[in-house]
Amino acid sequence: MKRVSADDQAVLFQLRAPEHDALLDLLQTYPVVPPAHQTVSKNLKNTHPTDYQHLLDEALAEQRAANQKHLHAWLATPGRFQRHKAGFRFTLQRTDSEWLLQVLNDIRVGHWLRLGSPEPGELKPQTLDREKLPAWLMMEMSGFFQMSLLEALE
Amino acid sequence: MANVAEPLVLPDLEKETRTKDELEPAYLVVCWNDPVNLMQYVTHVFQKVFGWEREKAEHHMMQVHEQGQSVLARVSLEKAEFYVHQLQKYTLHATLERDA
């Protein structure tokens, strides 16, 4: 995924065909992080039992629902991805960049959780069994798109 | 009537001079290390959520990476909840803790 051009409002990207397919496959999996995964506090648990946690869970659930709705609308926009030579081009409004980064990181973290939250040294694709390989691929691909996006936005 | 000075009633300085921080307990916004969030992404999120310059955001990101955690802000409970929610929207491992 490469940046073709950019201005204050938007960034134009060029994707190779496999990248386009991978991005669509990836985005279809959102959300991946399980609800109520996040903890509001480590040391307030005893003094403030569930209030904050409940509020946080609700706020994050609303956020996920809004992101999902936005994602569906974004993907369904006619001409979102336009064929260009051997690949595709798409325009990302800068106002959509934070939302897309959040979605991609949810996918990355969610697949990492599915792999059992391994430490970096524990993740060797050659030693992963067949069941875990797709999650590893999804995690790596979302990282690739995140980095491409961050570099393009700078 | 004799000009007798009225006794001065001094304000209770101990009470009057208590700062807002003392009246409103401070909370820490802490970001914890994990092996999945990319360093460049974490820096970006700190810049967005706190409005920091890149250098400051990178400093805190490196603290998280090398020391396992970084205190990002010491604020009121309301603000701490707000920041923690913002950071968790980006799926960072962030919590609010009462300042000791």
Crossing angle between the packed helical segments B39-50 and B54-67, to the nearest 10 degrees: 130
Nearest alpha carbon to residue A82 among A142, A17, A11, A148 = A17
B73 contacts chain A (CB < 8 A): no
pTM of the model: 0.87
Query: Which member of A43, A60, A147 has the closest CB to residue B88?
Result: A60
- Chain B residue numbers with beta carbons less than 8 Å from the beta carbon of A117 are 34-36
For A101-120, what is each residue's pLDDT tens digit? 999 999 999 999 999 999 87
Question: In whole numbers, what is the pLDDT of chain B averaged over residues?
Answer: 86
By mean pLDDT, which of A43-52, A110-119, B5-14 is the weakest?
B5-14
Query: Which member of B89, B93, B96 has the closest CB to residue A102?
Result: B89
Most B-contacting residue of A32, A42, A97, A119 (CB-CB within 10 A), to test interface: A42
Give kind and range of the element (H or E) at residue B28.
Answer: strand B27-32
Better-predicted residue by pLDDT, A43 or A151: A151
Which residues make Cβ contacts (< 8 Å) with residue A85, sequence separation at least 6? none
Distance from CA of B11 to the nearest CA of A (A): 35
pLDDT of residue A55: 85
Whether A10 contacts A86, CB under 8 Å? no
For A45, the closest chain B residue by CA position comes to B97
Nearest alpha carbon to residue A40 among B85, B71, B61 = B85
- Chain A residue numbers with beta carbons less than 8 Å from the beta carbon of B80 are none
For B43-78, what is each residue's pLDDT tens digit? 999 999 999 999 999 999 999 999 999 999 999 988
pLDDT of residue A46: 54
Average pLDDT over residues B2-10: 56
Give kind and range of the element (H or E) at residue B44.
Answer: helix B39-50
In the DSSP assignment, the letter for residue B91 is T
ipTM above 0.90, yes or no: yes
Q: Which residue has the tokens 């001065």?
A: B8
C-alpha to C-alpha distance for A62 and A57, rounded to whole angstroms: 9
Q: What does the block give as tokens for B61?
A: 């990101």
Average pLDDT over residues B69-96: 95
Contact B41 A146 (CB under 8 A): yes
Contact A60 B84 (CB under 8 A): no
Contact B96 A102 (CB under 8 A): no
In three-state form (DSSP H/G/I as H, E/B as E, the rest C), the secondary structure along chain A is: CEEEEECCCEEEEEEEHHHHHHHHHHHHCCCCCCCCCCCCCCCCCCCCCCHHHHHHHHHHHHHHHHHHHHHHHHHHCCCCCEEECCEEEEEEEHHHHHHHHHHHHHHHHHHHHHCCCCCHHHCCHHHCCCCCHHHHHHHHHHHHHHHHHHHHHC
Contact A119 B35 (CB under 8 A): yes
pLDDT of residue B99: 86
